[in-house]
Structures are given as structure tokens and as C-alpha cells.
């Protein structure tokens, strides 16, 4: 008999959204209809949940600050993502976003650790050592700033980010599904 694993018992996994969970666009994801998951990403999140991880999304969303879409549109996009994860049998423990533009000087925009620190306070998870999966240099820098484990996926901007890395040690996977499989192998070993 398989014993159920308590959600979050293995801690959190921090995920970037655009380019990791869903396809990205240089024109921004502005509507729920434009939000399209990358093949295998939603199932990967559900598998991580089933293994006891608590997935948390941490995403820069400067399109709000630039006036490309409203905070309400962002909420609808995030609701669509949450519903997709729920339908696959998973659950996002939290979604955090920074609506500010890069020149705003806020403490929440990646690579600053403000969103992660807020997640730690509100959800009670520690980011120290937690996998942080992203596709941009700012994600990798956030992982270092938060004391997390940086993981790069080749989807989204991942290929161009990988080409920029010269002496940086980081785990690299084809996509979120492959990263999740590797993490699940670690906990089952």
C-alpha cells in the first residue's frame, strides 16, 4: 500500500512562470487565452505535488507596470494556470508576482529576493536549498540571492541564457518535465 505524502512535506519548489510553465512571448502574455502551457509542465507540477513538494510561482510581470495589461487580466491568467494544475491533480501553494518595471527600484523584482521572502513569511517554507527553476539569468541570480538551488530549463529564454553562462555552475534540463523527473528520482533514491 502506498502511503500518501503530505503536501509540502518535502518543502517548496520555486517556479518561474513564463518560459517555464507556459510559452513566453516578447509581446507579453496579456490574456488568459494567450496563456498556453508548455507540453508536460502542468503534469510535472502535479507529479511534484504528489511527491510532497509545494510548488510556488514567482514571476516578474512588468507588463502590468508598463500598462500592457491590467492587474485584473493578470489575475485571470493566474487563475487559468491554477485551474490547469488543479485539473491535473496538483495544487500551487502560492503565486507571487512583481508588477513593477525594471527601473522602479523595487525590492520584489527578480533578481531581488522580495517575492521569495514574502513567500517564506506567508507560507512558512524556507527557500534555502529549495529548487528554483527558471529560464533567465534573473532567475538564477534570484536563486543565489535567496540561497536556493538554481536550475535552468532550455525552454523560453533558457537557450540564450545558457549561451551567456560561462563559468556558472547550474543544473540544466530540457524543460520543467525533465527537471521534475530528476528531482523525483532524487527523493525516491
Which class for 33: exposed (0-12), middle (13-18), buried (19 or more C-beta within 10 A)? exposed
Nearest to residue 61, comparing CAs of 91, 106, 118? 106
Residue 60 in 3-state DSSP? strand
Distance CA 185, CA 182 (A): 5
Q: How far apart are the first and last CA of the chain?
A: 18
Indicate which residue of 18, 24, 47, 135 is catalytic.
18
Task: Find the angle CA(32)-CA(75)-CA(174) to the nearest 5 degrees.
Answer: 60
16 is catalytic: yes
- Other CB atoms within a 10 A radius of the CB of residue 185 amount to 9
Task: Give the separation between CA 54 and CA 46, rounded to whole angstroms.
Answer: 10
Query: Which of 16, 135, 139, 175 is flagged as catalytic?
Result: 16
The answer to whether residue 18 is catalytic is yes
Catalytic positions, written as ranges: 16, 18
Amino acid at each position: 500500500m502506498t502511503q500518501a505524502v503530505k503536501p509540502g512535506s518535502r518543502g517548496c519548489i520555486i517556479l518561474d512562470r513564463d518560459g517555464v510553465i507556459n510559452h513566453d512571448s516578447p509581446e507579453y502574455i496579456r490574456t488568459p487565452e494567450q496563456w498556453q502551457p508548455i507540453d508536460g509542465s502542468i503534469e510535472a507540477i502535479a507529479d511534484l505535488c504528489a511527491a510532497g513538494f509545494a510548488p510556488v510561482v514567482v514571476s516578474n510581470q512588468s507588463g502590468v507596470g508598463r500598462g500592457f495589461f491590467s492587474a485584473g487580466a493578470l489575475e485571470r491568467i493566474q487563475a487559468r494556470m491554477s485551474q490547469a494544475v488543479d485539473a491535473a491533480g496538483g495544487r500551487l501553494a502560492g503565486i507571487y508576482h512583481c508588477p513593477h518595471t525594471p527601473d522602479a527600484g523595487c525590492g520584489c523584482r527578480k533578481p531581488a529576493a522580495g517575492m521569495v521572502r514574502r513567500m517564506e513569511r506567508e507560507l512558512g517554507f524556507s527557500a534555502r536549498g529549495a529548487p528554483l527553476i527558471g529560464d533567465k539569468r534573473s532567475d538564477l541570480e534570484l536563486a543565489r540571492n535567496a540561497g536556493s538551488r538554481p536550475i535552468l530549463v532550455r525552454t523560453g529564454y533558457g537557450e540564450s541564457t545558457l549561451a551567456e553562462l560561462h563559468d556558472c555552475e547550474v543544473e540544466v534540463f530540457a524543460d520543467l518535465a525533465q527537471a521534475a523527473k530528476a528531482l523525483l528520482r532524487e527523493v525516491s533514491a
